[in-house]
Structure 1
Amino acid sequence: MTRPLGATGLHVSPITFGAMRIAGDRPDGASSALLQALERGITSIDTARNYGDSEAVIARTLRAWRGPRPLIATKVKPRDISNWRFYVPMDVQFTPGSIVTSVEESLRTLGVDCLDLVQLHQWYYRWSHETAWLETLHALREAGKVRHIGVSAQDHEHDGVLKLVDDCRVDAVQVVLNAFESRPLVSVVPLADERGVGVIARCVFDHSGALAGAATRETLARDVKLAHASPEVVAEYLRRIDRLREDAREHGMDLVELSIRFGLTHPGVSTLAISLADAGQVDAALAAAARGPLPETLFDRVCREHVWVKNFYYFSRATVDGNAPV
């Protein structure tokens, strides 16, 4: 079971191995989790130049892998990796030279001749009228070093990529999509489906991973993004998770299954990039994906009653007031 990556002609597994936290835990430095994922049918990997030694671990793992080569998607490293939230001119983050350098380093580190998908690892709407970045990636594609081009949207700023999608300037976009952040399903996802642009969904279990089902006050207290959150914010977060868990239970599923099936319900979503730490998580994710879309009534309920507009990067000591952003 695979899904098309837009109009690229590529088909990917519904679950992509998200390699942000990949660990080389074998004696040869390879990742047991990635090998297990490949053995069980996952056909795509999502990484980034900015993810520490992720690309190197992937390279060592693929040398140990004897099956078909998976699709590799990576991201161009921004010049200022400390700024992920506030607008800057494009040439502060990406220049033709920095893009080429990042791509060349990815090729060398991953040990491949061509990258299947290269994404800018940041995007602001005001960059939509810039051309140098795209011309640079086109030149790399013509040189046989890049197959397809994409961007990764800022967290919760999926609408920032709408013009790129509408103009078909990229082959794929990556956005946050989960039960609390379903707004892309009424904007970028259906538009991408119409335009033949692939959609990679991330943070399917929310930024903290809380929608994987194990969130407590203690685990949330250790989350760096919630370091400044008030007790009221944490309590509200747990309350909303419990409400969603109850809806899942009423339909005979847990939060992992609900989250994955929710992310895959719209056909415009190509794949879900999920960090998978072991064989059990790989099997659970694939089993959930195999069960298909959510029932229409549950999908509609999640979209209407569980959306929670928030951004962990902006959490403060303020209290929560209903559904207001904090």
Structure 2
Amino acid sequence: MRRSGSPFAFILLGVGVFLLVLAPMLVWYVKPRAAVNPIDIDVTAVYKGTGSYFDVGETETLSGEQITVTQRVRGDVAESERSGNAVWDVVTTVDTEKSLPAADPHDALDFSTARWVTDRRTNKPVHCCDEQPYHEGEAYLKFPFDVEKRSYQWWDSTGDTTVTLSYQGTQEIKGYKGYVFTGKVAPMQAGTRQVPGALVGLPDTPQVIAEEWYSNHGVKLVVDQATGRTLYAQLGPKRTLRAPGSDEDAVTLLDVDKLSFTDATQQFAVDRAEQDSGQLRTVGVTAPIGAASAGLLSTIAAVVLLVRGRRRGGESDEDRAVPSEPAPTAELTAARR
């Protein structure tokens, strides 16, 4: 009779093969499906800075004033599930100390709404689902997953244009390291506005279609490498009015050199980035390495047990039997008689 391999060895082999197959599946199949823009997002980012703004009541530009920008992003879950994209509604208000707190956001210095639609995996814009305004680029509210050390095209909603943000190294925000990207926006015409002629240096013209110009002193974003979440944002918006065809600014509507995330917004962003990147790291790195290591060890152990079992099973019962006494010869038998 030959011994067969131990049942435990076969179980160990099965577990090892399963873990070896699981490891690449986690990297190539599970992680890409986990790294998607959420559809149930509901976050608020607050920026603060000191600068100038045009006070309609005073009909003049006031300087050294505190400016607060509040941006709330909420996901349209039903539309996102229907379209398969991330559909986010964004409400942005610009306030001064006079308008904060405001019961109605329409009472703010500036108020705007938008609907951003992006591919959940690539973060690229998708032009559907009542998107407004039309936008392009690779990044806006966030960057793509697995951010690279290169330049990105960031969408500037005020200028309705893409801005090249260049990689500038790393920086820690609340003890958490992110990638730094910076860029600027040169003065550009961003629209028109009907105003009294006197406001833009044309006192003899009751009303005039003035040119609205926009620039940005500097854009600085610190981004989580794994998730693309913005950990810190600093902007320098400047909006002015010019007389038609003029090369000179006549009125400053808004000018803030450094408008940046508050401490609370930074901490919230860091906490969420740590949580989300940790989950992605588990699925894409920790679990695959653990599964591959355990699978390799299990497979090796199973093979060793099976080989030992075969060697032992290869010995016949005859080989293992105790030798018997030789049969007595005829002479011995006769002598005994």
TM-score normalised according to structure 1 size: 0.28
Larger radius of gyration: 2
Answer 1 or 2: which has greater strand percent.
2
TM-score normalised according to structure 2 size: 0.27
Answer 1 or 2: which has greater helix percent.
1
